[in-house]
């Protein structure tokens, strides 16, 4: 079976229960990735055909898709024309690649990678069981700790300014650590509405104040931002800061806040959101395992990135064979 980004088609064939058994495959996208020494991630069919001077499929569907229409809304004759062009381009590319793969001495490696593709397709389809309730509980625990840490940070700055500091703001954290001026909009109650739909409700006036923070830590070389007077506060930069006393408390607490925010947003809350986004069922996470990304040739993972999952998050992935 020959295709371009073939794993995508295999999933659709399996969904409609028309995937034949015992097949061998040739993924033209994977072949092109290998032929470019793995430097072009996810090469497209159009760009690859253009590179080799091969016929290009017509792009008659673009206008429909830009209007937000589903494929099922597109007239069948135009879908058929598009598909025929797709098949011709893919076949011509396949015939070209057979010679190129042999000439490059990549035949055995590529055929092995095509066998891997079938295994990865099975792994994606079968998925991994995920404990949604545990994920929700851990997300709540993260939020509680984040709130506690934010309160502790507020105790380290001027009490009048503390309620207005956004500890998730790089600008605010930069000013607090490296010294700098921040503007705050303060709301002051200013009587009540005497008429209209808000009658009886309090009125407010906005007062903009500027606050200058003293410098607590030495600037790291290369940490300057394009925004004048502000500096990097990403995780790697914070870890490189030599801080003492209050500054050290702020740095360490900020690092823990970042860690918790990622755990909660990317995993404990992020993974359950994918169930709604992709229509996953039976508590199974169907992440992607990618062969055409890493220049080293290793398999990468996305939606979610299973290679970056920490031991904390792994607790939510459970065996279905107990």
**Could you tell me which residue, 186 or 212, shows the higher pLDDT?**
212
CA nearest to 162, candidates 145, 144, 176: 176
CB-based contact 166:172 (threshold 8 Å)? yes
Whole-structure pTM value: 0.78
- Residue 322 clears pLDDT 80, i.e. is over it: no
- pLDDT given for residue 12 in this prediction: 92
Give the Cα separation of 171 and 24 in Å (integer): 55
Residue from 154, 112, 125 nearest 24 by CA: 112
Q: Round the average pLDDT of the chain to a whole number and report it.
A: 92
Domain ranges of the chain: 2-126
Look at residues 43, 24, 19 and name the one whose alpha carbon lies nearest to residue 32. Answer: 43
Q: Report the pLDDT value the prediction gives residue 320, as an integer from 0 to 100.
A: 85
Q: What percent of the chain has pLDDT over 90?
A: 67
Q: Which residues of 284-300 are buried (b: 16+ CB within 10 A; e: fewer)?
A: ebbbbbbbbbeeeeeeb
Amino acid 258: pLDDT = 92
Model confidence at 134: pLDDT above 80: yes
pLDDT at position 67, please? 86
Asked if residue 6 has pLDDT above 90, the reply is yes
User: CB-side exposure of 287: number of CA atoms within 13 Å?
Assistant: 21
What pLDDT does 149 receive? 94
Of 4, 8, 54, give the one whose Cα is nearest residue 26. Answer: 4
176 close to 249: Cβ distance less than 8 angstroms: no
Average pLDDT over residues 60-67: 82
Q: pLDDT for 66-111, tens place per residue? A: 888 888 888 899 889 888 999 999 999 999 999 999 999 999 999 9
């Amino acid at each position: 079976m020959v295709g371009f980004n073939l794993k995508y088609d295999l999933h659709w064939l399996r969904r409609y229960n028309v995937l034949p058994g015992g097949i061998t495959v040739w993924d033209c996208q994977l072949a092109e990735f290998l032929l470019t020494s793995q430097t072009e991630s996810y090469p497209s069919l159009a760009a690859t055909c253009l590179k080799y001077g091969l016929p290009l499929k017509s792009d008659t569907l673009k206008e429909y898709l830009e209007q937000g229409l589903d494929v099922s809304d597109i007239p069948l004759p135009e879908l058929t024309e598009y598909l025929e062009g797709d098949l011709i381009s893919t076949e011509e590319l396949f015939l070209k690649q057979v010679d190129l793969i042999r000439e490059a001495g990549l035949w055995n490696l590529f055929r092995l990678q095509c066998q891997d593709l079938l295994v990865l397709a099975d792994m994606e389809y079968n998925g991994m069981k995920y404990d949604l309730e545990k994920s929700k509980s851990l997300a709540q625990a993260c939020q509680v700790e984040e709130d506690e840490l934010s309160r502790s940070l507020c105790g380290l700055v001027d009490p009048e300014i503390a309620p207005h500091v956004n500890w998730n703001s790089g600008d605010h954290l930069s000013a607090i650590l490296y010294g700098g001026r921040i503007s705050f909009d303060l709301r002051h109650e200013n009587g009540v509405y005497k008429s209209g739909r808000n009658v009886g409700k309090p009125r407010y006036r906005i007062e903009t104040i500027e606050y200058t923070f003293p410098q607590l830590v030495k600037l790291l070389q290369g940490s300057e931002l394009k925004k004048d007077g502000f500096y990097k506060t990403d995780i790697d930069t914070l870890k490189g800061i030599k801080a003492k006393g209050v500054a050290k408390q702020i740095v360490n607490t900020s690092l823990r806040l970042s860690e918790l925010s990622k755990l909660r947003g990317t995993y404990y809350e992020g993974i359950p959101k994918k169930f709604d986004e992709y229509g996953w069922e039976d508590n199974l996470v169907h992440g992607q395992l990618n062969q055409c990304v890493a220049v080293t040739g290793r398999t990468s993972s996305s939606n979610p990135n299973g290679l970056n999952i920490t031991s904390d998050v792994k607790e939510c992935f459970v065996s279905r064979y107990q």
